[in-house]
Structure 1
Amino acid sequence: MDEFASLQQSIERLIRIKCSNYKEDYIKRRILSRMRLTNTADFEAYHKYLLANPQEHDLLRNALTINVTKFFRDPEVFEVIRREILPDLARRKNAIRIWCAGCSTGEEPYSLAILAHELMALHQNVTITIHATDIDTGVLQKAMAGIYDRKTLENVDERRLRKHFIAHEDGTFEVRPHLKNLVKFREHDLMSGVPISRYLDAVTCRNVTIYFTEKQKNDLTHLFHSALAVDGYYVIGKTEYLAREVEHLFVPYNAVQKVLRKAA
C-alpha cells in the first residue's frame, strides 16, 4: 500500500470522513495545504504528524470540509424562495419542513429562517421548521451560537439587521432567539445514505456536492428525492447539475436559479 492510501485509511478512522467519496485531486490539495502549514515534507511525514498530534484532526477536518458561506449567498435564489416557494407551500399546508443539508456555520439556514419569520407574520396559521445538518461538529457549534461579523452579513439590509440580530460592542452580530427557535441543528453525514426525515417540503444543498465523485452526487440525488414529499422543492448550487442517470427524478422549476421539483 502506498503512503497516500495509508494516510487516507487513517483519515477515515480518525476523522470519520470517507475519502473515496471525494475526488482524489481535491483530497490531495486539501492535505497539501495542511502539509505546508505543518512543515511536513511528504504524505508519510504528514501521516506521522497526524497520528502524533490529535489537535491536527480538527484542523484537517475543517480543511476537507471547506465552509465558505454568507447570509443570502446568491440573493436571486432567496428571492425565488421568498416570492414563490414559501408562499406556494403556505397555500398547501400549515406545517412546512425544510432541510438545509451541509449547513456549515449556519448562514444559510438562518437566511431561510428570516424568510420563514416574514412569511409566518403574514400567515399566522403556518409554522415552519428548518432542519440544518452538517458532518462537522465544530461548525455546528458556531452555527448554534449564531454570532457573525459584518462582512458575512453584507447581503442583510439594515431593517432585517435591526429586527433579527443583536449588535455587540466588538462589532459582531448575534442571531436573535426568535430565529434560533426556527432552526434545529444536528450532526448528520450525507454519506450515510439515510435522510434526516421523510415527506419534507424543501431541501437545500448548495455548493456541497462540487467536491464529490459522480457516484456520490447521484446517491445524494436519490437520498434527497426519497426525503421529499410529492412536489417538494430541491435547491442546488448555481454551478451544480444533475447527472443524466438521475435527472429524471426532478423537473426544473427555475432553471436559472437551479430550483427543481420532485418528479411524480
Structure 2
Amino acid sequence: MTTTKDDGFSLLKRFIEQTLRIQCSNYKEDYIKRRLLSRMRSTSTTTYEEYLKYLHEHPPELENLRNALTINVTEFFRDADVYDLIRKEVLPALFRGRKTIRIWCAGCSTGEEPYSLAMILSDLMAADKTLSGQIFATDIDEVVLKKAKDGIYPEKSMGKLTDTQIHRHFTKLPDGNYQVKPHLQELIRFRPHDLMSGQPVSRFLDMISCRNVTIYFTEKQKDELARTFHSALVPGGIYVMGKTEYLGREVEGLFSPINSIQKIYTKKD
C-alpha cells in the first residue's frame, strides 16, 4: 500500500519549485498529490522521500514529472464554437471601436491557442489593411514556452485545420513537421509570466483569453486572477474562459456575459 508523509511532501515541493521552476502554491494541494502519485506508481516508489531520491538518481524522470504537473493539453482551435464566436462577433466588434487591438493569451502552453487567435487576426487584417493587432502569449513553464516560440508541430496537430489554413499559415518541413510562418509569429510576443504574481503582462488590453488554466487553482486564486484580468482590460474589454470554468461569487459582478455557454464575458466598469 502506498504511504505518504507530509514531511516528504514539503521537501518534494521545495525541490520541484527550485529545480523545475514550477510554483506548487499555484495549484490545489490535492491536484499536486494526485500527479505525484501517478509518477510514483510509474517509478515503483511508495513514499515522497523515495520518489525524491529517485529524481536525484534518475534525472530523465524530471521531464516526466514536469509533463505530469503542467498537463499541457491543447490543440489548434480547441472548442471550435468558441473560436467561431471570436472570429465572427468578438474581434469584429472590438475593431469597430479601434484600428488596433491587444490580446493576452494567458497560460498559452505550447502555443496552439495564441496561434489560433493569430490566424483569425491575420485573416481580419488581410481583409482590411488598416487593422493591426498584437498578442501577448505567456506561460510559467519556460520549456513549453520555447516550444511555442519555435512554432513547430507534428502532422497530427494539424487535424482541426483546413487545407487553406495549413497552406496559408504553415510551412511543411523535410522531416514531416509543420512550422508556423513568420507573418503569424510576428503577431505574438511570447513571455514567461506567473499568473499568481498579481501583475498582468500588460495594461489596456482589449481581450484576455485564459482557458482551461484555472481549473487547477484554489477559489481564492481564481478570484485574485479575475481581479487582475479586470484591472488589465480596457472598458468593455473581453474575457474568455474555458468551458468548464466559472467566475466565483466574489468576482462575478466584475463581468457581464456575452455568451454564458461559451464563457465569453465583457468587463464591467
TM-score with structure 2 setting the length: 0.93
Alignment partner of 2:32 out of 7, 27, 31: 27
The CA distance in 1 between the partners of 2:30 and 2:174, in whole Å, is: 43
After TM superposition, the structure 1 = structure 2 runs for residues 228-247 of structure 1, keeping only pairs within 5 Å, are 228-247=233-252
Aligned residue number for residue 134 of structure 1: 139
Contact 2:227 2:251 in 1 (8 A): yes
Aligned residue number for residue 3 of structure 2: none
Aligned residue number for residue 184 of structure 1: 189
Contact 1:168 1:174 in 2 (8 A): yes
Asked if residue 167 in structure 1 is aligned to residue 156 in structure 2, the reply is no
Query: Would you say how many aligned residue pairs link Structure 1 and Structure 2?
Result: 264
Q: State the AA in 2 paired with 1:197.
A: S
The Cα shift of 1:54 comes to: 5.0
Contact 2:22 2:141 in 1 (8 A): no
Q: State the AA in 1 paired with 2:164.
A: R
Contact 1:90 1:123 in 2 (8 A): no
Is the partner of 1:40 in helix, strand or coil? coil
Alpha-carbon RMSD: 1.6
Asked if residue 157 in structure 1 is aligned to residue 162 in structure 2, the reply is yes
After TM superposition, the structure 1 = structure 2 runs for residues 1-264 of structure 1, keeping only pairs within 5 Å, are 2-264=7-269
Q: State the AA in 2 paired with 1:247.
A: E
The CA distance in 2 between the partners of 1:18 and 1:132, in whole Å, is: 19
The Cα shift of 1:91 comes to: 1.2
> Comparing 194-203 with 41-50, which one deviates more in the overlay?
41-50
Which blocks of at least 5 consecutive residues in structure 1 are unaligned? none
The Cα shift of 1:51 comes to: 4.2
The Cα shift of 1:56 comes to: 4.1
The CA distance in 1 between the partners of 2:17 and 2:231, in whole Å, is: 27
The CA distance in 2 between the partners of 1:157 and 1:103, in whole Å, is: 22
> Comparing 3-12 with 114-123, which one deviates more in the overlay?
3-12
The CA distance in 1 between the partners of 2:47 and 2:56, in whole Å, is: 14
The CA distance in 2 between the partners of 1:8 and 1:250, in whole Å, is: 35
The CA distance in 2 between the partners of 1:182 and 1:242, in whole Å, is: 29
Is the partner of 1:252 in helix, strand or coil? strand
The CA distance in 2 between the partners of 1:189 and 1:56, in whole Å, is: 24
Which blocks of at least 5 consecutive residues in structure 2 are unaligned? 1-5
Percent sequence identity over matched residues? Answer: 57
Is the partner of 1:128 in helix, strand or coil? strand
The CA distance in 2 between the partners of 1:20 and 1:176, in whole Å, is: 37
The Cα shift of 1:58 comes to: 4.0
Contact 2:21 2:141 in 1 (8 A): no
Q: State the AA in 2 paired with 1:47.
A: L
The Cα shift of 1:52 comes to: 4.8
Give the 3 Å change call, closer, same or farther, for CA 56–209 of structure 1 in structure 2.
same
Q: State the AA in 2 paired with 1:87.
A: P
CA deviation map 1:157-216 (0-9, x unaligned)? 111111111122433211111111111111111111110111100000000111111111
Is the partner of 1:195 in helix, strand or coil? coil
> Comparing 252-261 with 16-25, which one deviates more in the overlay?
16-25
TM-score with structure 1 setting the length: 0.95
The CA distance in 1 between the partners of 2:19 and 2:164, in whole Å, is: 45
The CA distance in 2 between the partners of 1:125 and 1:181, in whole Å, is: 17
